[in-house]
Amino acid sequence: MNTNSSNMMALAPNTSNKRETVCIFGTGDFGRALGHKMIQCGYPVVYGSRSTQISNLIPKDAEVLSHAEAAQKAAIIIVAIQRQHYNFLTPLAEILRGKVVVDISNNLKLNQYPESNAEYLAQLLPGARVVKAFNTVSAWALQSGALDASRQVFVCGDDMEAKQMVMNIVRALGLTPLDQGSLLAAQEIENYPLQLFPMWKFPIFLSLGLSAFFFFYCLALDVIYTYVYEKNNFSFFIAITIPNQICPVMALILLGLVYLPGVLAAIIQLYRGTKYRRFPDWLDKWMLCRKQLGLIALAFASLHAVFTLVSPIRSFVKWRTSKAIISQVLNNKTEPLDTTNAWLSDSYLALGILGFFFFVLVGITSLPSVSNSVNWREFRFVQSKLGYVTLILCTAHTLVYGGKWFLSPSAYKWYLPNIYMLSLVVPCTVLVVKFVLIFPCVDKPLTQIRQGWERNPKYSE
Protein backbone atom coordinates (compact mmCIF):
# COMPACT_ATOMS: atom_id res chain seq x y z
CA MET A 1 0.00 0.00 0.00
CA ASN A 2 1.21 3.47 -0.79
CA THR A 3 1.97 5.16 2.52
CA ASN A 4 2.17 8.63 1.02
CA SER A 5 -1.37 8.53 -0.27
CA SER A 6 -2.82 8.16 3.21
CA ASN A 7 -0.75 11.18 4.38
CA MET A 8 -1.95 13.25 1.48
CA MET A 9 -5.52 12.31 2.21
CA ALA A 10 -5.24 13.30 5.84
CA LEU A 11 -3.47 16.59 5.16
CA ALA A 12 -5.91 17.66 2.46
CA PRO A 13 -8.75 19.88 3.67
CA ASN A 14 -11.61 17.73 4.87
CA THR A 15 -14.44 18.65 2.53
CA SER A 16 -16.77 15.81 3.50
CA ASN A 17 -18.17 15.15 6.97
CA LYS A 18 -16.35 11.83 7.12
CA ARG A 19 -13.53 11.77 9.61
CA GLU A 20 -10.16 10.30 8.74
CA THR A 21 -9.14 6.89 10.06
CA VAL A 22 -7.02 6.90 13.20
CA CYS A 23 -4.69 4.07 14.08
CA ILE A 24 -4.06 3.16 17.72
CA PHE A 25 -1.10 0.98 18.64
CA GLY A 26 -1.92 -1.11 21.70
CA THR A 27 -5.21 -2.59 22.82
CA GLY A 28 -4.59 -1.92 26.52
CA ASP A 29 -6.73 0.18 28.87
CA PHE A 30 -5.93 3.54 27.33
CA GLY A 31 -5.96 2.36 23.72
CA ARG A 32 -9.42 0.81 24.17
CA ALA A 33 -10.87 3.82 26.06
CA LEU A 34 -9.55 6.29 23.47
CA GLY A 35 -10.69 4.09 20.56
CA HIS A 36 -14.17 3.81 22.06
CA LYS A 37 -14.44 7.60 22.46
CA MET A 38 -13.15 8.16 18.91
CA ILE A 39 -15.66 5.75 17.39
CA GLN A 40 -18.42 7.56 19.33
CA CYS A 41 -17.22 10.80 17.75
CA GLY A 42 -17.28 9.35 14.25
CA TYR A 43 -13.63 8.35 13.68
CA PRO A 44 -12.97 4.99 12.01
CA VAL A 45 -10.44 3.27 14.31
CA VAL A 46 -7.95 0.60 13.43
CA TYR A 47 -5.82 -1.04 16.12
CA GLY A 48 -2.25 -2.18 15.65
CA SER A 49 -1.65 -5.06 18.03
CA ARG A 50 0.67 -8.00 18.66
CA SER A 51 -2.41 -10.23 18.49
CA THR A 52 -5.02 -9.70 15.79
CA GLN A 53 -7.61 -11.80 17.59
CA ILE A 54 -10.67 -9.70 18.38
CA SER A 55 -11.61 -9.80 22.05
CA ASN A 56 -14.99 -8.57 23.29
CA LEU A 57 -13.24 -5.78 25.22
CA ILE A 58 -12.28 -4.06 21.98
CA PRO A 59 -14.83 -1.58 20.59
CA LYS A 60 -16.96 -3.57 18.18
CA ASP A 61 -16.63 -1.23 15.18
CA ALA A 62 -12.83 -1.24 15.30
CA GLU A 63 -10.50 -3.35 13.18
CA VAL A 64 -7.52 -5.12 14.75
CA LEU A 65 -4.50 -5.66 12.50
CA SER A 66 -0.77 -6.11 12.83
CA HIS A 67 1.14 -2.91 13.63
CA ALA A 68 2.46 -2.55 10.06
CA GLU A 69 -0.93 -3.15 8.41
CA ALA A 70 -2.76 -0.81 10.80
CA ALA A 71 -0.19 1.98 10.36
CA GLN A 72 -0.65 1.87 6.58
CA LYS A 73 -4.38 2.58 6.96
CA ALA A 74 -4.05 5.93 8.72
CA ALA A 75 -2.11 9.18 8.71
CA ILE A 76 -2.30 9.51 12.47
CA ILE A 77 -0.94 6.80 14.72
CA ILE A 78 -1.51 7.01 18.46
CA VAL A 79 1.01 4.96 20.42
CA ALA A 80 -0.84 3.67 23.51
CA ILE A 81 2.09 1.57 24.73
CA GLN A 82 4.58 2.06 27.58
CA ARG A 83 7.89 3.66 26.66
CA GLN A 84 9.94 0.60 27.64
CA HIS A 85 8.38 -1.30 24.68
CA TYR A 86 9.06 1.40 22.07
CA ASN A 87 11.88 -0.68 20.52
CA PHE A 88 9.29 -2.66 18.56
CA LEU A 89 8.68 0.54 16.54
CA THR A 90 12.20 0.64 15.02
CA PRO A 91 11.40 -1.84 12.20
CA LEU A 92 8.29 0.23 11.42
CA ALA A 93 10.31 3.44 10.91
CA GLU A 94 9.87 3.37 7.11
CA ILE A 95 6.10 2.81 7.29
CA LEU A 96 5.76 5.61 9.81
CA ARG A 97 7.85 8.09 7.79
CA GLY A 98 5.88 11.31 7.28
CA LYS A 99 3.03 10.14 9.51
CA VAL A 100 1.79 11.90 12.61
CA VAL A 101 2.81 9.73 15.58
CA VAL A 102 1.18 10.70 18.87
CA ASP A 103 2.99 9.88 22.10
CA ILE A 104 0.56 9.64 25.03
CA SER A 105 2.84 7.93 27.52
CA ASN A 106 3.55 8.79 31.13
CA ASN A 107 6.33 7.73 33.47
CA LEU A 108 6.33 6.42 37.01
CA LYS A 109 8.74 9.05 38.37
CA LEU A 110 9.44 12.73 37.70
CA ASN A 111 12.23 13.19 35.08
CA GLN A 112 12.66 9.39 34.96
CA TYR A 113 14.67 9.46 31.73
CA PRO A 114 17.20 12.02 30.47
CA GLU A 115 14.92 12.87 27.53
CA SER A 116 11.12 12.91 27.36
CA ASN A 117 9.30 9.85 26.00
CA ALA A 118 8.14 11.90 23.01
CA GLU A 119 11.72 12.99 22.16
CA TYR A 120 12.85 9.37 22.54
CA LEU A 121 10.09 8.33 20.12
CA ALA A 122 11.22 11.03 17.68
CA GLN A 123 14.79 9.65 17.87
CA LEU A 124 13.53 6.10 17.15
CA LEU A 125 11.41 7.32 14.21
CA PRO A 126 13.44 10.09 12.55
CA GLY A 127 10.99 10.52 9.65
CA ALA A 128 7.83 10.68 11.77
CA ARG A 129 6.09 13.86 12.91
CA VAL A 130 5.90 13.24 16.63
CA VAL A 131 3.30 15.04 18.74
CA LYS A 132 2.82 14.73 22.50
CA ALA A 133 -0.82 14.70 23.66
CA PHE A 134 -3.49 13.01 25.79
CA ASN A 135 -1.14 11.96 28.62
CA THR A 136 -3.02 14.05 31.21
CA VAL A 137 -6.36 12.37 30.39
CA SER A 138 -7.06 9.09 32.14
CA ALA A 139 -8.57 6.00 30.53
CA TRP A 140 -11.22 6.00 33.25
CA ALA A 141 -12.23 9.61 32.51
CA LEU A 142 -12.48 8.85 28.77
CA GLN A 143 -14.58 5.79 29.39
CA SER A 144 -16.90 7.16 32.06
CA GLY A 145 -17.29 10.58 30.49
CA ALA A 146 -16.18 12.21 33.77
CA LEU A 147 -13.90 14.62 32.01
CA ASP A 148 -14.47 17.72 34.08
CA ALA A 149 -11.21 17.44 35.99
CA SER A 150 -9.09 16.61 32.95
CA ARG A 151 -10.77 18.34 30.04
CA GLN A 152 -7.54 20.10 29.09
CA VAL A 153 -5.20 18.24 26.77
CA PHE A 154 -1.66 19.59 26.60
CA VAL A 155 -0.25 19.28 23.10
CA CYS A 156 3.30 19.92 21.89
CA GLY A 157 5.32 19.09 18.81
CA ASP A 158 7.79 20.52 16.31
CA ASP A 159 5.51 20.13 13.26
CA MET A 160 2.76 22.78 13.30
CA GLU A 161 0.54 20.97 10.81
CA ALA A 162 0.78 17.67 12.67
CA LYS A 163 0.04 19.43 15.94
CA GLN A 164 -3.01 21.07 14.36
CA MET A 165 -4.32 17.69 13.17
CA VAL A 166 -4.03 16.28 16.69
CA MET A 167 -5.66 19.36 18.18
CA ASN A 168 -8.59 18.93 15.78
CA ILE A 169 -9.10 15.39 17.07
CA VAL A 170 -8.88 16.65 20.66
CA ARG A 171 -11.60 19.22 19.94
CA ALA A 172 -13.76 16.65 18.15
CA LEU A 173 -13.63 14.49 21.30
CA GLY A 174 -15.06 17.40 23.31
CA LEU A 175 -11.77 18.22 25.01
CA THR A 176 -9.76 21.43 25.10
CA PRO A 177 -6.32 21.40 23.45
CA LEU A 178 -3.66 23.64 24.98
CA ASP A 179 -0.70 24.23 22.68
CA GLN A 180 2.46 24.05 24.81
CA GLY A 181 4.92 24.71 21.98
CA SER A 182 7.67 22.49 20.61
CA LEU A 183 8.59 18.94 21.61
CA LEU A 184 10.97 20.44 24.19
CA ALA A 185 7.90 20.98 26.39
CA ALA A 186 7.17 17.23 26.43
CA GLN A 187 9.21 16.53 29.58
CA GLU A 188 7.21 19.11 31.51
CA ILE A 189 3.92 17.75 30.14
CA GLU A 190 4.97 14.23 31.14
CA ASN A 191 5.68 15.48 34.66
CA TYR A 192 2.21 17.07 35.13
CA PRO A 193 0.30 13.88 36.01
CA LEU A 194 3.00 12.92 38.53
CA GLN A 195 2.78 16.09 40.55
CA LEU A 196 0.87 15.84 43.80
CA PHE A 197 -0.44 19.29 44.72
CA PRO A 198 3.03 20.94 44.40
CA MET A 199 1.79 24.34 45.60
CA TRP A 200 -0.09 22.87 48.55
CA LYS A 201 2.79 21.05 50.25
CA PHE A 202 4.25 23.99 52.20
CA PRO A 203 0.85 25.46 53.27
CA ILE A 204 -0.42 22.03 54.37
CA PHE A 205 2.73 21.10 56.34
CA LEU A 206 2.81 24.56 57.92
CA SER A 207 -0.87 24.32 58.91
CA LEU A 208 -0.43 20.83 60.34
CA GLY A 209 2.69 21.88 62.29
CA LEU A 210 1.09 25.04 63.70
CA SER A 211 -2.20 23.26 64.51
CA ALA A 212 -0.32 20.52 66.41
CA PHE A 213 1.66 23.17 68.32
CA PHE A 214 -1.49 25.09 69.30
CA PHE A 215 -3.31 21.90 70.21
CA PHE A 216 -0.68 20.93 72.78
CA TYR A 217 -0.45 24.55 73.94
CA CYS A 218 -4.22 24.65 74.64
CA LEU A 219 -4.16 21.16 76.11
CA ALA A 220 -1.51 22.27 78.60
CA LEU A 221 -3.22 25.54 79.57
CA ASP A 222 -6.92 24.60 79.44
CA VAL A 223 -6.95 20.94 80.44
CA ILE A 224 -3.75 20.00 82.31
CA TYR A 225 -3.36 23.32 84.19
CA THR A 226 -7.05 23.29 85.26
CA TYR A 227 -6.74 19.68 86.40
CA VAL A 228 -3.51 20.28 88.36
CA TYR A 229 -4.47 23.57 90.06
CA GLU A 230 -8.29 23.53 90.14
CA LYS A 231 -8.93 19.76 90.20
CA ASN A 232 -11.45 20.16 87.34
CA ASN A 233 -11.59 17.51 84.63
CA PHE A 234 -12.07 19.46 81.42
CA SER A 235 -10.67 16.75 79.13
CA PHE A 236 -13.84 17.01 76.97
CA PHE A 237 -12.47 20.41 75.81
CA ILE A 238 -10.47 18.35 73.29
CA ALA A 239 -13.65 17.79 71.22
CA ILE A 240 -14.93 21.33 70.61
CA THR A 241 -13.44 23.99 72.88
CA ILE A 242 -9.82 23.47 71.84
CA PRO A 243 -10.58 23.04 68.10
CA ASN A 244 -12.69 26.20 68.30
CA GLN A 245 -9.67 28.03 69.74
CA ILE A 246 -7.24 26.60 67.18
CA CYS A 247 -9.43 27.32 64.13
CA PRO A 248 -9.74 31.12 64.51
CA VAL A 249 -6.10 31.38 65.58
CA MET A 250 -4.95 29.42 62.52
CA ALA A 251 -7.28 31.39 60.22
CA LEU A 252 -5.85 34.69 61.46
CA ILE A 253 -2.20 33.62 61.40
CA LEU A 254 -2.47 32.09 57.91
CA LEU A 255 -4.30 35.16 56.62
CA GLY A 256 -1.47 37.26 58.06
CA LEU A 257 1.03 34.96 56.32
CA VAL A 258 -0.75 35.61 53.00
CA TYR A 259 0.04 39.33 53.25
CA LEU A 260 3.40 39.14 55.08
CA PRO A 261 5.51 38.24 51.99
CA GLY A 262 4.04 41.26 50.15
CA VAL A 263 5.22 43.69 52.83
CA LEU A 264 8.59 41.90 53.10
CA ALA A 265 9.00 42.23 49.33
CA ALA A 266 8.21 45.95 49.57
CA ILE A 267 10.83 46.40 52.33
CA ILE A 268 13.43 44.51 50.27
CA GLN A 269 12.69 46.64 47.19
CA LEU A 270 12.92 49.85 49.21
CA TYR A 271 16.19 48.71 50.78
CA ARG A 272 17.73 47.69 47.44
CA GLY A 273 16.26 50.67 45.58
CA THR A 274 15.37 48.49 42.59
CA LYS A 275 12.87 45.87 41.49
CA TYR A 276 15.34 44.26 39.08
CA ARG A 277 17.01 41.96 41.58
CA ARG A 278 15.47 38.60 42.33
CA PHE A 279 13.90 38.04 45.71
CA PRO A 280 15.44 35.28 47.83
CA ASP A 281 14.16 31.83 46.82
CA TRP A 282 12.21 31.31 50.06
CA LEU A 283 10.31 34.56 49.47
CA ASP A 284 9.56 33.64 45.84
CA LYS A 285 8.19 30.24 46.91
CA TRP A 286 6.21 31.80 49.75
CA MET A 287 4.62 34.34 47.36
CA LEU A 288 3.67 31.55 44.95
CA CYS A 289 1.64 29.68 47.57
CA ARG A 290 -0.29 32.65 49.00
CA LYS A 291 -3.52 31.50 47.37
CA GLN A 292 -3.25 28.07 49.00
CA LEU A 293 -2.44 29.64 52.39
CA GLY A 294 -5.50 31.86 52.01
CA LEU A 295 -7.79 28.97 51.10
CA ILE A 296 -6.60 26.92 54.09
CA ALA A 297 -7.16 29.99 56.28
CA LEU A 298 -10.70 30.22 54.89
CA ALA A 299 -11.28 26.54 55.71
CA PHE A 300 -10.22 27.19 59.34
CA ALA A 301 -12.45 30.28 59.50
CA SER A 302 -15.43 28.25 58.20
CA LEU A 303 -14.82 25.56 60.82
CA HIS A 304 -14.69 28.26 63.50
CA ALA A 305 -18.07 29.58 62.31
CA VAL A 306 -19.61 26.09 62.50
CA PHE A 307 -18.09 25.32 65.94
CA THR A 308 -19.42 28.66 67.23
CA LEU A 309 -22.91 28.02 65.88
CA VAL A 310 -23.19 24.69 67.72
CA SER A 311 -22.01 26.26 70.97
CA PRO A 312 -25.49 26.87 72.50
CA ILE A 313 -26.44 23.17 72.24
CA ARG A 314 -23.32 22.00 74.08
CA SER A 315 -24.09 20.43 77.44
CA PHE A 316 -21.21 22.33 79.12
CA VAL A 317 -22.53 25.68 77.87
CA LYS A 318 -26.10 24.83 78.96
CA TRP A 319 -24.80 23.79 82.39
CA ARG A 320 -22.81 27.02 82.78
CA THR A 321 -25.81 29.17 81.76
CA SER A 322 -28.23 27.39 84.10
CA LYS A 323 -25.64 27.57 86.93
CA ALA A 324 -25.52 31.35 86.55
CA ILE A 325 -29.35 31.58 86.58
CA ILE A 326 -29.67 29.27 89.61
CA SER A 327 -27.08 31.26 91.53
CA GLN A 328 -29.08 34.45 90.88
CA VAL A 329 -32.26 32.70 92.05
CA LEU A 330 -30.58 31.32 95.19
CA ASN A 331 -29.12 34.71 96.04
CA ASN A 332 -32.42 36.37 95.12
CA LYS A 333 -30.47 38.93 93.16
CA THR A 334 -30.80 39.79 89.46
CA GLU A 335 -27.56 40.86 87.88
CA PRO A 336 -28.01 44.18 86.04
CA LEU A 337 -27.31 44.34 82.31
CA ASP A 338 -23.67 45.24 81.75
CA THR A 339 -23.93 47.46 78.67
CA THR A 340 -20.15 47.64 78.23
CA ASN A 341 -20.03 43.86 78.01
CA ALA A 342 -23.06 43.82 75.73
CA TRP A 343 -21.34 46.33 73.44
CA LEU A 344 -18.11 44.31 73.43
CA SER A 345 -19.84 41.03 72.72
CA ASP A 346 -22.04 42.46 69.94
CA SER A 347 -19.05 44.28 68.43
CA TYR A 348 -16.81 41.25 68.30
CA LEU A 349 -19.63 39.17 66.81
CA ALA A 350 -20.36 41.85 64.19
CA LEU A 351 -16.64 42.14 63.33
CA GLY A 352 -16.41 38.35 63.09
CA ILE A 353 -19.43 38.09 60.79
CA LEU A 354 -18.15 40.88 58.53
CA GLY A 355 -14.62 39.46 58.55
CA PHE A 356 -15.95 36.04 57.56
CA PHE A 357 -18.08 37.55 54.78
CA PHE A 358 -15.05 39.30 53.22
CA PHE A 359 -12.93 36.18 53.81
CA VAL A 360 -15.42 34.15 51.71
CA LEU A 361 -15.53 36.88 49.04
CA VAL A 362 -11.72 36.95 48.70
CA GLY A 363 -11.61 33.12 48.72
CA ILE A 364 -14.22 32.84 45.97
CA THR A 365 -12.39 35.27 43.67
CA SER A 366 -9.21 33.20 43.96
CA LEU A 367 -10.97 30.22 42.33
CA PRO A 368 -9.88 29.92 38.66
CA SER A 369 -13.45 29.95 37.31
CA VAL A 370 -14.11 33.30 39.03
CA SER A 371 -10.67 34.89 38.66
CA ASN A 372 -10.79 34.16 34.91
CA SER A 373 -13.94 36.25 34.60
CA VAL A 374 -12.55 39.44 36.20
CA ASN A 375 -9.84 41.69 34.82
CA TRP A 376 -6.43 42.14 36.45
CA ARG A 377 -7.40 45.39 38.22
CA GLU A 378 -10.58 43.90 39.66
CA PHE A 379 -8.67 40.82 40.79
CA ARG A 380 -6.00 43.00 42.48
CA PHE A 381 -8.71 45.10 44.11
CA VAL A 382 -10.41 42.09 45.69
CA GLN A 383 -7.24 40.19 46.62
CA SER A 384 -5.29 43.15 47.94
CA LYS A 385 -7.71 45.85 49.14
CA LEU A 386 -10.56 43.58 50.30
CA GLY A 387 -7.95 41.13 51.61
CA TYR A 388 -6.53 43.83 53.88
CA VAL A 389 -10.08 44.78 54.95
CA THR A 390 -10.59 41.12 55.92
CA LEU A 391 -7.32 41.09 57.86
CA ILE A 392 -8.28 44.30 59.72
CA LEU A 393 -11.77 42.99 60.57
CA CYS A 394 -10.51 39.59 61.75
CA THR A 395 -7.71 41.17 63.83
CA ALA A 396 -10.21 43.60 65.37
CA HIS A 397 -12.57 40.66 66.07
CA THR A 398 -9.81 38.94 68.08
CA LEU A 399 -8.71 42.14 69.83
CA VAL A 400 -12.25 43.05 70.92
CA TYR A 401 -12.90 39.45 72.02
CA GLY A 402 -9.82 39.12 74.19
CA GLY A 403 -8.74 42.71 74.72
CA LYS A 404 -10.03 43.15 78.23
CA TRP A 405 -8.40 40.01 79.65
CA PHE A 406 -5.19 40.07 77.62
CA LEU A 407 -3.77 42.33 80.33
CA SER A 408 -5.21 40.42 83.27
CA PRO A 409 -2.62 38.34 85.24
CA SER A 410 -5.05 35.34 85.33
CA ALA A 411 -4.70 35.05 81.52
CA TYR A 412 -1.04 34.02 82.00
CA LYS A 413 -1.23 30.40 83.14
CA TRP A 414 2.30 29.10 83.77
CA TYR A 415 3.46 32.58 82.66
CA LEU A 416 2.39 31.71 79.12
CA PRO A 417 0.24 34.09 77.05
CA ASN A 418 -3.17 32.97 75.81
CA ILE A 419 -3.15 31.63 72.22
CA TYR A 420 -5.32 34.55 71.07
CA MET A 421 -2.46 36.85 72.04
CA LEU A 422 -0.02 34.71 70.05
CA SER A 423 -2.36 34.77 67.06
CA LEU A 424 -2.17 38.56 66.90
CA VAL A 425 1.61 38.76 66.40
CA VAL A 426 1.69 38.09 62.64
CA PRO A 427 -1.44 40.07 61.58
CA CYS A 428 -0.54 43.07 63.78
CA THR A 429 3.01 43.10 62.38
CA VAL A 430 1.63 43.01 58.81
CA LEU A 431 -0.89 45.77 59.50
CA VAL A 432 1.64 48.04 61.24
CA VAL A 433 4.22 47.64 58.44
CA LYS A 434 1.52 48.11 55.78
CA PHE A 435 0.39 51.26 57.58
CA VAL A 436 3.94 52.61 57.42
CA LEU A 437 4.23 51.61 53.74
CA ILE A 438 1.19 53.66 52.72
CA PHE A 439 2.68 56.89 54.12
CA PRO A 440 3.34 59.13 51.08
CA CYS A 441 7.05 59.51 51.94
CA VAL A 442 7.44 55.68 51.72
CA ASP A 443 4.75 54.92 49.17
CA LYS A 444 6.12 57.38 46.58
CA PRO A 445 9.63 55.89 46.22
CA LEU A 446 8.15 52.36 46.38
CA THR A 447 5.75 53.14 43.52
CA GLN A 448 8.64 54.64 41.51
CA ILE A 449 10.76 51.53 42.11
CA ARG A 450 7.86 49.33 40.99
CA GLN A 451 7.59 51.42 37.84
CA GLY A 452 11.24 50.74 37.00
CA TRP A 453 13.14 53.57 38.71
CA GLU A 454 16.47 52.58 40.32
CA ARG A 455 18.33 54.32 43.12
CA ASN A 456 21.58 52.70 42.13
CA PRO A 457 21.51 51.49 38.49
CA LYS A 458 24.38 49.03 39.00
CA TYR A 459 21.74 46.57 40.30
CA SER A 460 20.09 46.41 36.88
CA GLU A 461 23.12 44.71 35.30
Question: Applying CB under 6 A, does 361 fall inside the site for ligand NAP?
Answer: no
User: Which residues, 406 to 435, sit near ligand NAP by CB under 6 A?
Assistant: none
d(CA 180, CA 170): 14
- Residue 384 · residue 420 · CB < 8 Å: no
Candidates 48-56, 279-287, 301-309, 439-447: pick the segment binding ligand NAP (CB under 6 A).
48-56
CB atoms within 10 A of CB 231: 7
Provide the 3-class DSSP secondary structure of residue 65.
strand
| Total binding residues toward ligand NAP, as defined by CB under 6 A | 20
Min CB(99)–ligand NAP separation in Å: 18
Question: Applying CB under 6 A, does 30 fall inside the site for ligand NAP?
Answer: yes
Question: Applying CB under 6 A, does 154 fall inside the site for ligand NAP?
Answer: no
CB atoms within 10 A of CB 314: 15
Q: How far apart are the first and last CA of the chain?
A: 61
- From candidates 3, 29, 44, 224, binder to ligand NAP by CB under 6 A: 29
Min CB(28)–ligand NAP separation in Å: 2
Question: Applying CB under 6 A, does 454 fall inside the site for ligand NAP?
Answer: no
Question: Applying CB under 6 A, does 151 fall inside the site for ligand NAP?
Answer: no
- From candidates 11, 28, 112, 349, binder to ligand NAP by CB under 6 A: 28
Question: Applying CB under 6 A, does 82 fall inside the site for ligand NAP?
Answer: yes
Min CB(98)–ligand NAP separation in Å: 22
303: part of which helix (H) or strand (E)?
A: helix 290-309
Question: Applying CB under 6 A, does 88 fall inside the site for ligand NAP?
Answer: yes
Closer by beta carbon to ligand NAP, 192 or else 357: 192
Question: Applying CB under 6 A, does 395 fall inside the site for ligand NAP?
Answer: no
Strand partners, 156: 132
Provide the 3-class DSSP secondary structure of residue 337.
coil
Question: Applying CB under 6 A, does 26 fall inside the site for ligand NAP?
Answer: yes
Min CB(173)–ligand NAP separation in Å: 14
d(CA 103, CA 120): 10
Question: Applying CB under 6 A, does 187 fall inside the site for ligand NAP?
Answer: no
Binding mask 49-68 for ligand NAP (x = CB under 6 A): xxx-----------------
- With a CB cutoff of 8 Å and minimum separation 6, the contacts of 43 are 19, 20, 21, 22, 169, 172
Candidates 2-10, 104-112, 382-390, 412-420: pick the segment binding ligand NAP (CB under 6 A).
104-112
d(CA 385, CA 389): 6
Candidates 26-34, 228-236, 331-339, 367-375: pick the segment binding ligand NAP (CB under 6 A).
26-34
DSSP for 163-192 reads HHHHHHHHHHTT-EEEE--SGGGHHHHHHG
Angle at 152 between CA 105 and CA 368, to 5 degrees: 135
CB atoms within 10 A of CB 419: 23
Closer by beta carbon to ligand NAP, 106 or else 365: 106
User: Which residues, 235 to 274, sit near ligand NAP by CB under 6 A?
Assistant: none
d(CA 203, CA 366): 16
d(CA 93, CA 126): 8
DSSP for 247-271 reads HHHHHHHHHHHHHHHHHHHHHHHHH
Question: Applying CB under 6 A, does 85 fall inside the site for ligand NAP?
Answer: yes
Chain positions contacting ligand NAP, by CB under 6 A: 26-31, 49-51, 80-82, 85, 88, 104-106, 135, 138-139
